[in-house]
Structure formats: C-alpha cells, structure tokens
C-alpha cells in the first residue's frame, strides 16, 4: 500500500489546486496556525476541498443513530472525550 503524503502550502486552497480523491493538504497561515483539508471529489480536475474536522463532524452527526459507530469512535480515543 502506498503511503499518503500530506501536501503543505501557505495559502488557501482553490479550484486550481487539482489533486486526486483523498489527497490531504495542510494549509499554514502567517501566524503558524494550520488546518488540514482533504480533497473529496472523484474528479481531480474539479477538486472540492473540505476541512478534515468539518468532514468528520458531518460523518459523526449523520451516524449518531448508529450506536456501534459511536462506540467504535470513542474506543479509538481510549474513551477520552476532547472538547
């Protein structure tokens, strides 16, 4: 299996930042604050970048009725809830 690289850049992502589905990119601002994004479009010529935190939030909220999913997520973090 090929190891995923995380791209790095120092400006916001745009529609011109073409990349394959699943590509990760860390965007670092001038104040050294960074955010992680993932490209979610199956068409690399028409990329759709979304913040990983936002994507996880959408998945988690859509799965709240699935107790097994929620418990599996909690176990991944050793039962610790970080807010």
Q: In this predicted structure, what is the pLDDT of residue 30?
A: 87
- What is the model's pTM? 0.71
- CA 45/CA 54 separation, integer angstroms: 22
Q: In this predicted structure, what is the pLDDT of residue 68?
A: 82
Residues 6+ apart with CB under 8 A from 55: 38, 40
Tens digits of residue pLDDT in 17-44: 999 999 999 999 988 899 999 999 999 9
What's the average model confidence in pLDDT over 69-80?
Answer: 69
What angle (nearest 5°) sits at the alpha carbon of residue 70, between those of residues 65 and 76?
Answer: 170
In the chain, where are the structural domains located? 6-76
């Amino acid at each position: 299996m090929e190891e995923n690289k995380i791209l790095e850049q120092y400006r916001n992502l745009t529609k011109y930042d073409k990349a394959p589905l699943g590509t990760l990119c860390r965007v670092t601002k001038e104040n050294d604050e960074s955010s992680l994004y993932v490209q979610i479009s199956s068409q690399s010529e028409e990329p759709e970048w979304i913040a990983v935190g936002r994507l996880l939030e959408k998945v988690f909220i859509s799965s709240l009725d699935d107790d097994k999913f929620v418990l599996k997520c909690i176990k991944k973090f050793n039962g610790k809830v970080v807010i």
